[in-house]
A and B are shown apart, each in its own frame.
Chain A
Amino acid sequence: MRNEGARQKIGFGFLLGATLFVVVPVLAIIVLIVVKGWSALSLEFLIAMPRDGMRAGGIFPAILGTFILVFTSIAFALPIGVMAAVYLSEYAKDNLLTRIINLAIINLAGVSSVVFGLFGLSLFVVFLRFGVSIVSGALTLGIMTLPVIITTTREALRAVPRSYREVSFSLGASRWQTIRHSVLPFATPGILTGAILSIGRVAGETAPILFTVAAFYLPKLPHSLGDQVMALPYHLYIMTTQVPGVPENYRYGTALVLVGLVLVVNIVAARIRSRIRRNK
């Protein structure tokens, strides 16, 4: 019997070791980026335009571009995603069509980011003649983030107690009325979580925007949906591989802004999620 106790200790020790092997580097990464990038963060860095071949000045156009892409892509994906989740949760029957839809969602989630870029290039940039523009980028990113929104919204809808719907039906409401008044309002925090998680996802993607919207350098800020933009992930990429003479803390600073944005977004989503769970 003592053998078993020892074996368990070793076994659990190994599991703990593995877990630490995963989690400690994450901490190290965050700390490293903060430590090396903090010195670059200044008001100028965040709101000024790049100067001197992007070796000095700020990264504002990239930050703005990322915000624009996030906003437009979610504006496109959110309505479609929520309605799709509503369909799956409230209307769909357990048949082959539903199974295929679910399969399609999983597949959409698994498609490589660069394949999305190719798709965006051939459909939006070339075939629909939108050109390399915010429109093309937003639509591409929107389709890419659709599975996230659908999945989280579907979870949120499923979490609404059945009784809410039953009461509404028994009072004579139609299905849509029930959804609109007795289900959706209670699923809203969950939907919001999904939207916020999408923000993090969209903000960090590079490959889908490579051929659909990203620009190496723009001296002016974008002012219409047909313009190109600079974006944080692409900016980090070119600062690492293409622009010589960029001070090290500038690169880490850009990474810090990007990671910071993504982390803040995820923390907000997590807070909302835990508040939902607490209220149950």
Chain B
Amino acid sequence: MAKFRKLKEFVIEKLIFASGIASIVFVVLIFIFLLREGVSVIKSTSLGAFLGGRFWYPISDPAKLGILPLILGSLLVTAGAILLAVPLGIAAAFYIADVAPAKVRYVLKSGVEILAAIPSVVLGFLGITLLVPFLKHTLGLPTGLTALAGSIMLAFMALPTIISISEDAISAVPREYKEGALALGATHWQTLTRVIVHGAMPGIIAASMLGIGRVIGETMAVMMVTGNAAVIPTSLLQPVRTLTATIAAEMGEAAKGSPHYFALFAIGIVLFLISFLINLTADLFLNRGKKR
């Protein structure tokens, strides 16, 4: 009887271990399968021409597979979103974590959680239905389908991430710091801006990086409002095309084994590597914050 139980436990504990490393397995699998198809893009173009090429005409003969406009499109939309979301998010995080009275804090935190829950496609739907015509009329643009529309929608999506992680970092600052400053005669505001900010800085930076990671990987909302023109952007007020929208819009057509198919997987590799680097960096910042 005891032997049977020992055997059962052995099996269960092996399963638990297997599940434990499952995340590693999946991440590696994703990378391998992306690589499997994406690496063949080298057959049709050089790495330099792929990453730096200015024209994306994937079904022409010969295919022009330059993703520079797509990379710049993603970067531009992301930069715009971060410019909007980071200041707003950090300010809101400070308010919620440190200034707001308890009841108000509950309402505000719920508001942020609701924002986090809204699906990307719903924001895209509202964006194309309301924001895009609005931008066109108020800014007098040729079309409202622009990088700016994308940045605004993405800022909404990044805010919950930035706010909640910053808020954690702010709350984690030891009470002694705050109490010490107040005891020395500092006002609440002075304490906030000079003491707590420093203590929470690594966490805030990590929050911003994770916000960037979230934004650069967004697909549906961007695809619906940025106009999808694969041109090297010169301003936020023009249509752009992101890496993610390109994959989503074109994957259906690409015949298996065609240069187009490989190129889309190669774009996937680029996206995967970008988010990997961002998450690695953010993790380092978060750990540095914790060690303090």
Contacts and interface: CB of A to CB of B under 8 A. Distances in A.
Interface string B117-149: 111111011101110000000000000000000
Interface stretch (A15-23, A49-57, A222-230): A15-23
A101 B99 contact: no
A22 to B, nearest CB: 5
Contacts of B154: none
Interface in A83-119: 83-84, 86-88, 91-92, 97, 100-119
Classify the secondary structure of B's interface with A: helix
Interface stretch (A40-48, A164-172, A185-193, A199-207): A199-207
Nearest to B23: A104
Interface in A154-198: 174-177
Contact of A19 (B96, B210, B275): B96
A112 B275 contact: yes
Contact of A22 (B111, B280, B283): B111
Contacts of A18: 87-88, 91-92, 95
A7 B271 contact: no
Nearest to A88: B20
B277 to A, nearest CB: 10
Nearest to A265: B117
Contacts of A101: 20-21, 23-24
A84 B214 contact: no
B13 interface: yes
A15 B94 contact: yes
A53 to B, nearest CB: 19
A217 interface: no
Contacts of B15: 83
B283 to A, nearest CB: 6
B182 to A, nearest CB: 12
A279 interface: no
A257 B126 CA distance: 15
B179 interface: no
A112 B216 contact: yes
A62 B159 CA distance: 29
Interface residues of A, number: 89
Contacts of A19: 91-92, 95-96, 100, 108
Contacts of A221: none
Given A146-B23, A174-B9, A211-B252, A118 B125 contact: no
Contacts of A15: 91-92, 94-95, 99
Interface in B6-48: 9, 12-13, 15-24, 26-27, 29-30, 33-34, 36-37
Interface string A1-25: 0001101100110111011011101
Interface stretch (B53-61, B64-72, B187-195, B229-237): B187-195
Interface residues of B, number: 86
B119 A258 contact: yes
Contacts of B238: none
Contacts of B18: 83
Nearest to A255: B122
Contacts of B129: 240, 251
A24 B286 CA distance: 30
Interface of A: 4-5, 7-8, 11-12, 14-16, 18-19, 21-23, 25-27, 29-30, 32-33, 79-84, 86-88, 91-92, 97, 100-119, 121-123, 126-127, 143, 146-147, 150, 174-177, 200, 203-207, 210-211, 233-234, 236-237, 240-241, 251, 255, 258-259, 262-263, 265-266, 270
Given A80-B22, A112-B272, A118-B251, 9 more contacts: A7-B189, A12-B95, A19-B108, A22-B112, A26-B112, A103-B283, A123-B29, A210-B248, A241-B224
14 contacts: A8-B188, A27-B111, A29-B126, A30-B114, A83-B19, A87-B16, A103-B280, A103-B283, A104-B26, A113-B219, A115-B34, A177-B9, A240-B129, A266-B117
The 10 A-B pairs with the shortest beta carbon distances in the complex, nearest first, are A204-B119, A112-B217, A87-B20, A18-B91, A83-B19, A8-B189, A23-B111, A15-B95, A104-B23, A19-B92
